[in-house]
Structure 1
Amino acid sequence: MPGKYTLTYFPVRGRGEATRMLLADQKQEWTEDVVTGEIWQKGDLKKSCVFGQVPRFQDGDFVLVQSNAILRHLARNHGLYGQDAREATLLDMVNDGVEDLRVKYARLIYQNYDAGKAEYIEALPAQLRPFENLLAQNDGGKGFIVGKKISFVDYNLLDILQLHLVLAPNCLDSFPLLAAYVQRLNARPHLKTYLESEGRKQRPINGNGKQ
């Protein structure tokens, strides 16, 4: 149903991008409600969000905030939460790992980019190794992060890996399974169309120009 979904967020990729990739790959239409600095400063939108932050997501008359809750909601509605309770729990575990890395990335980008970039990149292999190991344990790394079907975590993990490939283009050189995983997901037809779209290319990665 066109217009069923609305994503309210700043004009950046940020914490809205995994949701966008999921929707695009699942052939879902959505509306972008772009939050300018002026709109945010007025304060009305912030007050309307439970935790005072965006992204804000509308599914019909159902309104959500918190990016990971949004992903999980869509996962339940589109069969992207594993085949059984065991897989769902593993997906929650991996998603928490992605969130840990995203928080570290955001701290670098917004608080310590110039002074901390070199040290961050030096420490990055230790942060990426668990995901390589998890891939290896699932069908030898030939498919998805958990199970035999794509899940909400695959979009979240793909997003954070794409971010790090911009930050440190050689970061996956020592992780062949992750490198192949990124290429494989990027090539999914509907996702590829979105990733190569002008709207996506023109949307900044982060709000402060660092990447």
Structure 2
Amino acid sequence: MHYIVVNILIIMCKTLHLPGYVLTYFPVRGRAESTRLLLADQGASLTDVEVPLADWFSGKTDLKKNAVFGQLPKFQDGEFVLYQSNAILRYLGHKHGLAGSNDKDTARIDMVNDGVEDLRQKFSKLVFFEFETGKENYIKNLPNQLAPFEKILSQNSNGTKFVVGDKISYADYNLLDILHCHLDLSPTCLTAFPLLAAYTERLAARPQLSAYLKSEKRNKRPITPKHKQ
């Protein structure tokens, strides 16, 4: 039944030429959430197609076979199809003017985004493979992982704006998402990082982003399949 529903949604997206973008992913936040944050804040139309994990792993859907690297998310902008979460972010960053105003800023934004990816991989390793045995040590070492981002913020307008320059970038949405993940893991993790704490609150207060963060569709999704709300 889930397989039929998913395929009907995909066919509708193709045949009806729905406005905006289409994002196909599992019913979790995971690697699709930073894209959702970006599009919500930019006021862009997004159709979410949710693939039940059971259907994905059982092979009931052809999505895995057709995915370039056998992974989701899958992103569609009209006839243009893109995989890999960071490639999707960079594409949208350039398309919506969120990738820096010059080559140096663009490179700095890429650097921060790569730093977020490093942290996300460590977080994913903990959640999926080491949660019961490694959580305590992970949280103990977390300040060492967050300190570089605090320093980056301090170097731009004393931490009162964004990671780079005067305008939000795609890396900001990715950083906000991974900070939310860690606040869920350890609610006091930003206590020693006043700039990051204020930054997280400042971004979350942006009107369209705030509305999304408070929405039912956002809050019904766990961070990963291992997380329960």
Match of 2:78 among 60, 67, 81: 60
Moved more, 39-48 or 127-136: 39-48
Could you say which residue in structure 1 is the equivalent of 2:5?
none
Give distance in 2, aligned partners of 1:175 and 1:112.
Answer: 26
Q: Unmatched 5+ residue regions in structure 2?
A: 1-16
Q: CA deviation at 1:2?
A: 5.3
| 1:130-149 pair list within 5 angstroms | 130-149=148-167
Match of 1:5 among 7, 21, 28: 21
Could you say which residue in structure 2 is the equivalent of 1:74?
92
Deviations 1:47-71 (A, max 9, x none): 1110000000001000001000000
Give distance in 2, aligned partners of 1:107 and 1:182.
Answer: 24
Is 1:49 the counterpart of 2:58? The answer is no
Match of 2:144 among 126, 139, 149: 126
Give distance in 2, aligned partners of 1:210 and 1:99.
Answer: 23
Deviations 1:67-87 (A, max 9, x none): 000000000110000111100
Q: CA deviation at 1:210?
A: 6.0
Task: Provide TM-score, normalisation by structure 2.
Answer: 0.90
Q: Unmatched 5+ residue regions in structure 1?
A: none
How many residues get paired?
Answer: 211
Match of 1:21 among 21, 29, 37: 37
Q: CA deviation at 1:3?
A: 3.0
Could you say which residue in structure 2 is the equivalent of 1:37?
53
Could you say which residue in structure 2 is the equivalent of 1:178?
196
Could you say which residue in structure 2 is the equivalent of 1:207?
225
In structure 2, what residue type is equivalent to 1:176?
Answer: P
In structure 1, what residue type is equivalent to 2:198?
Answer: A
Give the match's secondary structure for 1:112: helix
Match of 1:90 among 99, 108, 111: 108
Give distance in 2, aligned partners of 1:102 and 1:13.
Answer: 13
In structure 2, what residue type is equivalent to 1:89?
Answer: A
In structure 2, what residue type is equivalent to 1:13?
Answer: R
- In terms of Rg, which structure is larger? 2
Q: Which runs of 4+ in 1 moved over 3 A?
A: none
User: Using CA pairs below 8 Å that are at least 6 residues apart, which structure has the higher relative contact order?
Assistant: 1
Give the match's secondary structure for 1:205: coil
Task: Provide TM-score, normalisation by structure 1.
Answer: 0.97
